[in-house]
Structure 1
Amino acid sequence: MRLRTKLILCFLLALPIELLSQQLLQTNFVKPQVETEPGKVCNLAFFITNNSEEPIRVNPNYILPDNWKLVTSLSAIDLQPSEKKFLIISVQIPESYLVGDYSVVPEFNDDKGQLLQKDEVHVRVLEVEKITIEKLEKKEYVYAGEEIRASYLLQNQGNTEKSFFIETQNCQVEEGAEVRLGVGESKVITVVKPTSEDYVNSAREYYTIRVNAGNRVLESVNNWTQVFPSKNLKKDMYFRFPISFSGSYLGVNKDDQYESTYQFELQGQGTLDVEGKHQLEFMARGPNNTDLSYLGLYDQYYLSYQNKNLMLFGGQKNFMFTPLTESSRYGWGFESKVVVNSGLTLGYLYVEPRFYQEIKNEMAGILGYQFNPKNKIELYYVTKQFEALNDRTQLLSFTSVFTPFNGTDVDLELSRGYLNNEADNAYRVNINSRFSLFNFSGNYYNTGKNYPGYYNNSKFYSANVSARLSQKIGLSFYARRDFMNAQLDTFFVTAPITKSYQGSLDYKLGLQSQLKLFVRQYERKDRLNYNKFHYKTRSANLRFSQKWRWFRFSLTGEAGKTTNFLLDPGENQQNSYRGMGDFSFNIASKHFIRAFGSWSNINQFVSGKQQNITAGMSVSSQISEKFNANFYVQNAYDIDDYYKNRNLMQLSFNYNFLPNHSIALRSFYTIFKTEVDQAEFTMAATYAYKFGVPLKQVIKAGIIRGQIINKQGEPVEGVWVRLLNKTVVTDKNGEYIFDLVQPGTHLVSFDESSFELDELTNIPNPVEVNVFEDQVSTVDVRILKGAELKGKIILEEATLKAAADDNVNAANIIVEVKSSLDQYRITTNSNGLFQFPLLKPGKYIFKIYANSIPAGYKIDQPEYEYVLGEGEKKEIEIELPTKRNNIIFKPAGNALQKNGLGLSLKAKSTSKKEPEADSEKPFYSIQIGAFKRELPMGDPFFQDEQFYFEKQIDNLHKYYIGRFSDLQSAKEEYKRLKTTFNKLFIVVIDGDEVYSVRKYEKLKK
């Protein structure tokens, strides 16, 4: 027993004092771990309990992570025996504090400093992503051929280290596009953009920089820089018709033999007049080289003219009558169409086919009427002469394009044909409709067995229905069946006969990633004489596409069953699988690389080979502004692609060595149309020259030029000068020039945004300039310090109290200042204060309009004269006295007349007195315009009308004409001004407030 007692005593003595103290004081935190964002106050709630039988005074102390701020006070906590209190510790976490887990340690001591309790709370600081990008420096303008440069400051103001990708549009990052910034770090990003030397007029070049993190765009900044034509550029005085001439050397390695030839082409397309009313197009290309299989460049000659009411064509091209009667027929022919202003159309076509020998010639007459841009009808009469038949084919076709209701367009054709005493019908319909979430497009052809048109004994349809259920989910269904019989040109081979059905579900996974699930059935059959394929596949497909920075890819998997109809039944079905990938890299927006490939376990065309691998790549590079190169290579093609030219390898270089001269080198290793495995090597070297034939000299022109200097006489560079839609900038000598200016009176304006706040031009801005043919008009400008004129209109002191009682004040009094160059008219505010815009130094006449002053007051002096010096600030005060109601009788010039109502005084007046209005009463006026900037007097907007006064409301300068006591008078003025201004309306001005008439009438009620 003694041993046990001794052991217990030793154990108690070995316990820490803190453990014994915890029995006296106990703390329990509501949440032992909390989450918060930096920059916010974090509240930690807990219960504190006195477990002793004595009162305790507790002194808290909180141990916080570095730079955290304690919001809660450190006042003592008094606890009675067994008392339990609820308390909150509030701490402020600094902005941009690093993400991570931190500890807050509360300590509680007694009055003697002895530790009673110690606890710990874990605080997780969450990640905050905050990226800023701001413009540091940007060129406001460059000359054509110079490089645009702009720099931006990218800052990471979040609380964790981040990697960014800089994506640009219409510009390039000078250094690497990959950026990694720690917390608080920043980096200067510089973008560059070259400009062409071929600018004829000034233009704005826009460019964008985006900061991406993963697939998210964090920040995007748009900017622009003005590009002015090069000083050395000579402008053309003539209106020209554009023409291009090219010569090509062609070489083909065909059947192990090398053949070569030359081909030349002269082409023109443009308008014959400045207004663009008459359009001309022609082509002359020869000699014919189709025997060399050079991608079908045959000889071709044609001439076409068109204006609003007439179209004429003669030569060789693809003619089309209607889709049913003659959808596409290449040959020599003539076409004309006359459109009467009422909407009536008359036309005629004649063609002799070149590549379809069964038809000798064909012609058509057209009669149509267009009701409006979306509704028209046409009637075609078509006749064809076949080589093997004596009788001509007769076809009658009615077509109509109409919109039955909003969002739906219909194209309809009904046709009937006659051949060898047999007749048959055909019809087609095409519909495009958009309503609610759905989009539908479809067409259907049905031609009879004996119908002698472009198609016969065929049914063709295609339809697509899609629905966007949400921003992420879309559904669609597609069906197609090709025609069976058509009068096709042998030179143009159409695709295989195809039947296909497909249903798909699209799901947008993210901003730049998408998943597509689709099931389909497709059947393809060879259209050539000896069938090399005929198969049908049913499959399920899954496609995933993703864009990540400069890299994007698409992966597709297909699984299903394929039936090969060229094999015997029982041996012609096989489970089929296919995988496809497409990867592209866009490097610095100038270099593009694409790699693609596919693998399948079944060959639909022959029975032996059970696997097919296709792979290829392409590279496109803009090596310089004038030089680009392209390369393409692929190992094989499917046989059912025979209807198009298939390049197994292609290499091309294009170089513009002079403004209108170019050289192109191209080489192809190609499987041509109708071939399945016989590849040929073709090369070509082409020189092209573009020029313009002068048709008419530009209207006789003059020149406006000048120089801008400052008050010290030094030239000022970089001032923008505008004339109509043209903008130029002063050079280092302060000089500017506009050439080829049409004779007449023009307004030239000078951009004052680069001036100091108190600077202006010494001439009106804009200034009228008279331009004469073949003469130079000089407008020199000096920048000087403007003068200020402001002041106050005061009502006579004797009536101030009465005026205040009657709500009479000095508001809306019209004041004007006028010189030989400038004129400004404004109104006073409610305190009678006014301030004119910056004035040019000189002599001014100041005037107060009598009809705008309050009733009961008069003007002692109608006009004041002031001379303002450069940079002078002048302040004036004018007191308006009250009117005296004294009647003074003068014997001269007056006569008393008697009438039925008594005596009246008839006085002779030497001057007409302006009517006076009650300024304290509301009045009507007409608002003629609102602008973000203040318009100077003489601005062409006013069109010789003088605005009554101007008010600045909602950051807009609003201009008003007229002051009327009744609405009818305002309406009469409104009718007069309506012929001059486009957007104007009547307002009511009550004190400093402006109301619409309707709103003011509601307020009165």
Structure 2
Amino acid sequence: MKEESDIRNISANAEAHLPYTKGKFKISKHINLSGEFAYSTTKNAEGTAYMAQAEVNFNKFNGNLAYMKASPQFAGYFTNTNTFSGYLQYRLTKKISVLANYMQDAKNFQRDTLFLAAPYRKYLQYGIQYKYLSNGSIIINHGFQKYQDRLEPKQFDYYERFFRVSIDQRIGIFQVNLEGQFGNTDNYLTGFNGHSSLYAANLSFEKFKTSFSLFGSYAITSRYQLQNQKQLYYGARVFSKFSDKTSLSLFYQNNYIPEEYFKDRNLFELLFHQQLFPGNELDLSGRYSLQRGQLGDKDFIFSMRYTWRPNIPVQRTAEYVSLSGNVGNLGIKKTEGIRLMLGNYLSVTDKDGNYIFKNVLPGNYFLEIDRSTTAINDIPTVGFPATMSLLNKENIFNFGLTAAANVQGKVQLSEAEKKDQTDIDALQTKKGKNKRESIIIEAISNDQTYRKVCFIGEDFDFTYLRPGDWTIKLYRNGLDKRYKILNDKFQFTLQPSEIKKLNIQIVKQQIEIKYQQESLKVGYNVIKNKK
């Protein structure tokens, strides 16, 4: 099957990864308008996408608006997308201004699987700014925000109405920012309503060619699993430029809010930069960071980079390369019509599963599969997105599609244990009214690792697993010490479409009581015969 595109005035859009028709109009020196339009035609469907932007700047009024929409059938990076953002400010007097900003995140678009899906957010705030001094101002805002986790199980889902007061003041060499926020939260994840408050402070100054920034916040919120949950965040940033050739930066932050799990987050970073001589630079860095999707596990990364800029005038003509291959059918319905993406390039497999990318610029790419063009249970035999280093004239990459396997099971108390204690709830009530006994179940293969927190007495499952060798490990996760996991490791080989059943037994550890007895002295008497 061949895919065709009817697009006029094609140019590259690095931000949206869409082929488009682009226009820009300047109404006056104060107003700028721009727009982008794309139209795609495939054998089965037609799709459209467009983006419009406007920017205005006057003496008393300025702002910007952006809107993007893509139809469900559009053959691009953004699919079934509808997003809008804007900012407006109007100066009533020299000291008083009114302002507002709105944002609605891109919803339901096809995200690159290299990144986790960012939470859906809808945000509106409006308020007034009063500049009481030339170096001091206060802003009073009112608005609402809605956060919804896109991953399962959800970590948050709430709607919050808030009132915020911010003070920004410069005192000598110090720049001080104070903020307080108060709101009411509707928690859709747990079903309760509560209050949320936030207090934040930021202090920054510069001395001895070094800039310092200290920040901290304390919050009591009802946004997550617990009502009136307390959160404390603090940190610091220091940047010192010893000379034009030498600099040192230091950053630390104790933790991050749960809504930011979709990106990498530095907890600690130390960076040293040194220019050895013109064109030669050395960078040393070390950092503790939370990777995407991680909440508690920290990774330490040390890097050393040497940069040499020879400054030799050369001219290089890029030669195009190609990537081709075959998608093997390993027991699925079809391998025809599968859409593959290589950066901004697109290819569709033919009836035999063959594909080809022509006229590709040399470089490093990620090869991806559009999951909407495969069956819901089809899974590749290798990990995707696949890293491609395309330097040769012709490159070949073959892989197969097979049916995914599943693991299902239940965590339960053994039958023998139930004779001694009939219900685990009797134990749970001792630990706390809202606490439940649970364990962590980890599924590991060569290139896939999944973890779940499972409660005793409930079912669990791992879906969309690649067939092959798997290991299931069990961890206590704070399980009461009187209980133990009967078998904490399982190893097996999953076949395509197989549903593996596991039964995890939790038993009560037997306590053996021994009684110590006093020793008993045994003796005898000898009777002598009288003569």
2:196 paired with 1:576: yes
Name 2:33's counterpart in structure 1. 410
CA distance in 2: counterparts of 1:438 and 1:682, whole angstroms: 47
The reply to whether residue 648 of structure 1 matches residue 267 of structure 2 is yes
**3-state SS of paired residue (2:259):** helix
Q: Which residue of 2 aligns with 1:513?
A: 136
- Cα 1:423–1:363 change in 2 (3 A) is closer
Q: Report whether the alignment pairs 1:627 with 2:250.
A: no
Partner of 1:31: none
SS at match of 1:640: helix
Of the three residues 599, 602, 611, the one matched with 2:230 is 611
Question: Are residues 361 and 463 of structure 1, via their aligned partners in 2, closer, same or farther at CA, if it must alter by over 3 Å?
Answer: farther
What is the CA–CA distance in structure 1 between the aligned matches of 2:295 and 2:287, rounded to whole Å?
16
Aligned to 1:430: 53
SS in 1 for 2:109: coil
The structure 2 residue matched to 1:586, chosen from 197, 200, 206, is 206
2:93 pairs with one of 459, 470, 491? 470
Q: How far does the alpha carbon of each residue in 1:428-470 deviate from its partner, in whole angstroms, 9 at most, with x for none? A: 3211123452113112223334334333333211121111222
Q: Is the 8 A contact 1:618 1:631 kept in 2?
A: yes
Amino acid in structure 1 at the alignment position of 2:138: L
What is the correspondence of 1:899-938 to structure 2 with a 5 Å cutoff? none
In the alignment, structure 1 residue 556 sits paired with structure 2 residue 175: no
The AA in structure 1 aligned to 2:281 is S
SS state of the match for residue 432, structure 1? strand
Return the offset for 1:612. Answer: 0.4
Decide whether the 8 Å contact of 1:654 with 1:665 is kept in 2: yes
TM-score (norm 1): 0.29
CA drift of 1:471 comes to 1.8
Q: 1:396 to 1:543 in 2, by over 3 A?
A: closer
**Pairing 1:658–2:281 present:** no
Partner residue of 1:949? Answer: none
Structure 2 equivalent of residue 442 of structure 1: 65
Deviation for aligned residue 1:524 = 1.3
**Residue 624 of structure 1: how far off its partner (Å):** 3.9
How many corresponding residue pairs?
A: 311
After superposition, the Cα gap between the structure-2 partners of 1:619 and 1:428, relative to the gap in structure 1 and judged at 3 Å, is closer
User: Residue 286 of structure 2 corresponds to which residue in structure 1?
Assistant: 667
Task: Work out whether residues 579 and 598 of structure 1, in 8 Å CA contact, stay in contact via their aligned partners in 2.
Answer: yes
Structure with larger RCO (C-alpha < 8 A, sep 6+): 2
Q: CA deviation at 1:379?
A: 8.0
Match of 2:23 in 1: 400
What code does the residue aligned with 2:206 have? Answer: N
CA drift of 1:402 comes to 1.5
- Asked whether the equivalents of residues 253 and 268 of structure 2 are also in contact (C-alpha less than 8 Å), the reply is yes
| Cα distance in 1 for residues equivalent to 2:313 and 2:38 | 48
In structure 2, C-alpha distance between the alignment counterparts of 1:624 and 1:664, rounded to whole Å:
15
CA distance in structure 2 between the aligned counterparts of 1:664 and 1:603, rounded to whole angstroms: 43
C-alpha spacing 1:420/1:567, structure 2 compared with 1 (3 Å): farther
Whether the aligned pair in 1 keeps the contact of 2:3 and 2:42 (CA below 8 Å) is: no
* Residue in structure 2 matched with residue 975 of structure 1 by the alignment: none
Equivalent pair of 1:364/1:380 in contact (CA under 8 Å): no
Superposition deviation, residue 538 in structure 1:
0.9
CA contact (8 A) 2:34 2:54 kept: yes
Would the alpha carbon gap of residues 413 and 509 (structure 1) be closer, same or farther in structure 2, given more than 3 Å must change?
same
State the shift of 1:361 in Å. 11
Match of 1:451 in 2: 74
Indicate conservation of the 8 Å contact 1:603/1:612, yes or no: no
> Structure 1 residue 524 and structure 2 residue 143: aligned?
no
Q: Is the 8 A contact 2:3 2:43 kept in 1?
A: no
CA distance in 1 between partners of 2:270 and 2:2 (Å): 41
Give the fraction of aligned pairs with identical amino acids, expressed as a percent. 24
Which residue in the other structure is 1:596 paired with? 215
TM-score by length of structure 2 reads 0.54
The answer (yes or no) to whether the contact 1:603–1:611 under 8 Å persists in 2 is no
Give the letter aligned to residue 111 of structure 2. L
- Decide whether aligned partners of structure 1 residues 670 and 542 sit closer, same or farther in structure 2, where only a CA change above 3 A counts: same
- The C-alpha deviation readout for 1:932-990, integer Å capped at 9, x for no partner, is xxxxxxxxxxxxxxxxxxxxxxxxxxxxxxxxxxxxxxxxxxxxxxxxxxxxxxxxxxx
Are residues 659 and 423 of structure 1, via their aligned partners in 2, closer, same or farther at CA, if it must alter by over 3 Å? closer
Q: Structure 1: how far apart are the matches of 2:64 and 2:130?
A: 22
C-alpha contact 1:366 1:380 (8 A) present in aligned 2: no
Per the TM alignment, residue 493 of structure 1 is displaced from its structure 2 partner at its CA by 4.1
Compared CA separation, residues 424 and 363, structure 1 to 2 (3 A): closer
The verdict on how the C-alpha distance between 1:608 and 1:657 changes in structure 2, with shifts beyond 3 A counting, is same
| Counterpart position of 1:544 | 167
Partner of 1:702: none
Counterpart Cα distance in 1 of 2:198 and 2:120: 22
2:309 maps to 1:686: no
Helix, strand or coil: the match of 1:648? strand
Q: Which residue does the alignment assign to 1:138?
A: none
Aligned in 2, Cα 1:692/1:449: closer, same or farther, shift over 3 Å? closer
Alignment of 1:862-941 (within 5 A): none
Distance in 2 separating the partners of 1:362 and 1:551: 60
Residue of structure 2 equivalent to 1:38: none
Aligned to 2:104: 481
Distance 1:411 1:633 in 2: 40
What do the CA deviations read for 1:19-40 (whole angstroms, capped 9, x no partner)? xxxxxxxxxxxxxxxxxxxxxx
Mapping for residues 694-843 of structure 1, pairs under 5 Å: none
Structure 1 residue matching 2:312: 3-state secondary structure: strand
Give SS of 2:221's match.
coil
Measure the CA separation in 1 of the matches of 2:12 and 2:287: 43
Shift of 1:365: 8.3
Q: How does 1:211-360 map to 2 (within 5 A)?
A: none
- Deviation for aligned residue 1:630: 1.4
Does the CA-based 8 Å contact 1:654-1:664 persist in structure 2?
yes
Q: Distance in 1 between matches of 2:277 and 2:128?
A: 52
Task: State the SS of the aligned residue for 2:311.
Answer: strand
Residues 487 and 609 of structure 1: CA distance in aligned 2, closer, same or farther (over 3 Å): same
Paired amino acid for 2:278: P
Shift of 1:424: 4.3
Q: Is the 8 A contact 1:425 1:451 kept in 2?
A: yes
Distance across 1 between alignment mates of 2:91 and 2:313: 54
- The one-letter amino acid paired with 1:670 is S
Deviations 1:872-904 (A, max 9, x none): xxxxxxxxxxxxxxxxxxxxxxxxxxxxxxxxx
Describe the superposition over 1:69-115 as per-residue Cα deviations: whole angstroms up to 9, x where unpaired. xxxxxxxxxxxxxxxxxxxxxxxxxxxxxxxxxxxxxxxxxxxxxxx
Counterparts of 1:361 and 1:538, CA distance in 2: 51
**SS of residue in 2 equivalent to 1:601:** strand
Mapped contact 1:367–1:380 kept (Cα < 8 A): no
Amino acid at match of 1:497: Y
CA change 1:500–1:626 in 2 (3 A) is: same
Give the drift of 1:673. 2.3
Larger radius of gyration, structure 1 or 2?
Answer: 1
- Give the C-alpha shift of residue 581 in structure 1: 0.3
Unaligned runs of 5+ in 1: 1-359, 369-377, 382-394, 697-1005
Residue 363 of structure 1: how far off its partner (Å): 8.8
Q: Secondary structure at the match of 2:190?
A: coil
Provide closer, same or farther for how the CA distance between residues 462 and 693 of structure 1 changes in structure 2, counting only shifts above 3 A: same
Q: Do the aligned partners of residues 687 and 450 (structure 1) sit closer, same or farther apart at CA in structure 2, a change above 3 Å counting?
A: closer
| Alignment partners' CA distance in 2, 1:613 and 1:684 | 30
